[in-house]
Amino acid sequence: MSSISNSHIARRRFLLALAAWPLAGLASSGPETLTAGFKRWGSGEFRRFGFLIYEATLWAAGEDPVRPPLALKLTYKRQIAGRDITEASVKEIRNLGVANEALLKVWGEQMGRIFPDVRPGDHLIGVHLQEGARFFHNDRDVGKIADPAFARAFFGIWLDTRTSAPELRAALLKRPLA
């Protein structure tokens, strides 16, 4: 009984910390604050036509790295316009087959208002929460999409078994050393 009680208390503390966490991230000096309380999982590189586009790192709060809450950090190696990030995201979600065109249009408009242009060295951190997704650019909160279906679809770009980048998925899901 006490292990259930302790587990319940630990979960409650974690959820309270998670609720306050986006505000703490605004004053942070680095991505470590944004991922506080999360366990780092794997990392890997995303390349297109041989060119390194970004490095990705996954953090998860629990033992299952594909269940929220989780965070994905992309550190860009190239200059990319926010509209191109949005278009690529819509295309990848479309390829997963998890949303109709009307929903993709709505999500594309929402992402278009959030995703900034990036330069080499910039990073975006997406946080998948039960209620949706929150995004940070260079540790600054840039917006959220409060739609659980969007969050599942968006993070599916990297974590779904149907991803277009299975090698990166495998690298991200690699269990960390104890």
pLDDT above 60 for 82: yes
The pLDDT tens digits for 123-164 are: 999 999 999 999 999 999 999 999 999 999 999 999 999 999
pLDDT band at 176 (very low <50, low <70, confident <90, very high): confident
Q: Is the pTM for the entire model greater than 0.85?
A: no
SS3 labels along 149-170? HHHHHHHHHHHCCCCCCHHHHH
Count of residues in the chain: 178
Residue with more model confidence, 104 or 33: 104
The topology (CATH level 3) of 2-172 is: Chalcone isomerase (3.50.70)
Taking the mean position of all CA atoms in its chain, how far away is CA 160? 13
Tokens linked to 56:
């990705």
**At 100, which helix (H) or strand (E)?**
none
The β-bridge partners of 58 are 72
Looking at residue 178, its pLDDT comes to: 61
Looking at residue 79, its pLDDT comes to: 98
pLDDT above 80 for 13: no
pLDDT above 50 for 17: no
The pLDDT tens digits for 22-60 are: 433 433 434 456 778 899 999 999 999 999 999 999 999
